[in-house]
Amino acid sequence: MGAGHGHVLYRESDSPVHRLPPEVKIVAMVVFTIAVVATPRAAFWAFGAYAVLVAVVAALARVGPRWLLSRALIELPFVLFAVALPFLGSGDRVEVLGLRLSEDGLHGAWNILAKGTLGVLASLLLAATTTTRDLIVGLDRLHCPQVLTQIATFMLRYLDVLVGEARRMRVARISRGDDPRFLWQLRGFAAGIGALFLRAFERGERVYLAMLSRGYTGRMPAVWQGEGAASVGQWLVAATVPVLAVSVAATAVVLS
């Protein structure tokens, strides 16, 4: 973990959002998402306000709308489900562009699209401004259960090793004439998966024994106590967006 690991969503920059400690960004994203989910679906103006907040944070983080929207396509299955709701929903029907659609289905589709899209965009902004290693450090500083942070740490540290091992096994298999592209060739592929699992298990056992010999007691170092933890001022700066989001949600609930 000392070398640091990036990920495909992280965008290197020196923006104010990038410089914030990871724990404050995690809390801000979670509180913002909760506020969005708690907003009544009929409060259309509130979702416009949330979109403005996301756009402001993206501008401060120097993350372009094209990058955000292209990565947001991950929610496409939910979009397809939402599009089907007006046709499959029950209750009163309204005519839209010559089609008789369910009124409840239209509200449900809007609810899924608006809240899902805002949640995905908030998560993408967190991923774009925080490395995977810093995310784990932030979770540890927030006193996330050690077993979870340790599993994530080891997964991050050795994922590239396992991917490289799988790649070498695939090259060796193909060089011996076995290229499982058809159903009747899946036996070789399944055997490779089993061998990779056994190698990963054996490697994990060796790593664990090596850690024990170096004084590992079942807990990772308490990095949340170390240098780089968020100051009061940084917490206050990061609280701007979630506080505004909670205010918008509370107003929407009262007005509804």
For residue range 12-64, what is the model confidence (pLDDT) as tens digits? 888 999 999 999 999 999 999 999 999 998 899 999 999 999 999 999 999 98
Q: Supply the pLDDT for residue 7.
A: 64
98-141: per-residue pLDDT in tens?
A: 676 777 777 788 888 999 999 999 999 999 999 888 888 888 88
Q: Supply the pLDDT for residue 222.
A: 57
Q: Taking residues 71-84, report their average pLDDT.
A: 82
> Could you tell me the pTM of the whole model?
0.77
Taking 50 as the threshold, does the pLDDT of residue 4 lie above it?
no
pLDDT band at 147 (very low <50, low <70, confident <90, very high): confident
- When the pLDDT of each residue in the chain is averaged and rounded to a whole number, the result is 82
- Chain centre distance of CA 90: 34
**Report for 31-35, 195-199, 204-208, 209-213: range of highest mean pLDDT:** 31-35
Calpha distance 30→129 (Å, rounded): 15
Q: Supply the pLDDT for residue 224.
A: 47
In Å, what is the CA distance from 159 to each residue of 7, 116, 130, 145, 152? 12, 29, 19, 21, 10
Amino acid at 120: V
Q: Supply the pLDDT for residue 219.
A: 67
Q: What is the DSSP string of the chain?
A: -TT----TT------HHHHS-HHHHHHHHHHHHHHHHHS-TT-HHHHHHHHHHHHHHHHHHT--HHHHHHHGGGGHHHHHHHHHHHHH--S-EEEETTEEEEHHHHHHHHHHHHHHHHHHHHHHHHHHHS-HHHHHHHHHHTT--HHHHHHHHHHHHHHHHHHHHHHHHHHHHHHTT----SGGGHHHHHHHHHHHHHHHHHHHHHHHHHHHHTT--S----GGGSTTPPPHHHHHHHTHHHHHHHHHHHHHHHH-
Q: Does residue 111 contact residue 41 with C-beta atoms inside 8 Å?
A: yes
Q: Supply the pLDDT for residue 82.
A: 78
Tell me the backbone φ, ψ of residue 22, rounded to 5 degrees: -65, -35
Q: Does residue 39 contact residue 46 with C-beta atoms inside 8 Å?
A: yes
Q: Supply the pLDDT for residue 162.
A: 81
Q: Does residue 17 contact residue 57 with C-beta atoms inside 8 Å?
A: yes
Taking 80 as the threshold, does the pLDDT of residue 249 lie above it?
yes
Calpha distance 102→178 (Å, rounded): 53
Q: What percent of the chain has pLDDT over 90?
A: 30
149-192: per-residue pLDDT in tens?
A: 888 877 777 777 888 888 888 788 778 776 666 666 677 677 77
